[in-house]
Amino acid sequence: MEKKEFTLPPLYTLVDLLLLFIIGAFSVGFYTFRRGLDDSNSRVLVAVVQSGDRVVARLELLRDTTITVDGAMGGLTVAVDRGILSFKNSRCPLKICEKSGGISRDGSVLVCAPNRVMARIEGIGAKSGGGIDALSR
């Protein structure tokens, strides 16, 4: 009786490798396409800080800045550090605005409700108003 030697099949066949290449190329293409839709990289981002109904300051996110804003409950520090805007030293009791972290993207909003202070990020530049807001199917 002749013994048959056991061999493992090849790990990847040519079809498997071709399928992996197609999926990888599609993923890279989709990522590049989505980056092209996001025009916030070509725009200057400005944080608009409001206390109550009035605009108190406009801060560029490119420049590290710290200001104090008078709110309904007292002073609140608005800080821009490395392109991220955050609230610090709030007089509100729960300090949710501080714990929620910072914002850095166009359209983001940070609010201290008890203090009636709000900061929103707006993109200003050549492409403003012409981008895609959302995609759905």
Residue 64 has pLDDT above 90, yes or no: yes
Is 63 part of any domain?
Answer: yes
Residues whose CB falls within 8 Å of the CB of residue 100, separated by 6 or more in sequence, listed in order: 110
User: What is the rounded average pLDDT of the residues 51-65?
Assistant: 93
Could you give the 3-state DSSP secondary structure of residue 98?
helix
Q: Residues 62, 65, 56, CA angle at the centre, nearest 5°?
A: 105
Residue range(s) defining the domain that contains residue 54: 43-124
Does this model's pTM top 0.75? My answer is no
Could you give the 3-state DSSP secondary structure of residue 5?
coil
pLDDT reported for residue 128: 45
93 and 118 share one domain:
yes
93 and 110 share one domain:
yes
23 and 81 share one domain:
no
pLDDT reported for residue 38: 57
- Total tally of structural domains belonging to the chain: 2
Residues whose CB falls within 8 Å of the CB of residue 6, separated by 6 or more in sequence, listed in order: none
In this prediction, residue 8 has a pLDDT band, given cuts at 50, 70 and 90, of low
Residue 35 has pLDDT above 50, yes or no: yes
User: What is the rounded average pLDDT of the residues 80-97?
Assistant: 93
DSSP H or E stretch at residue 81: strand 74-81
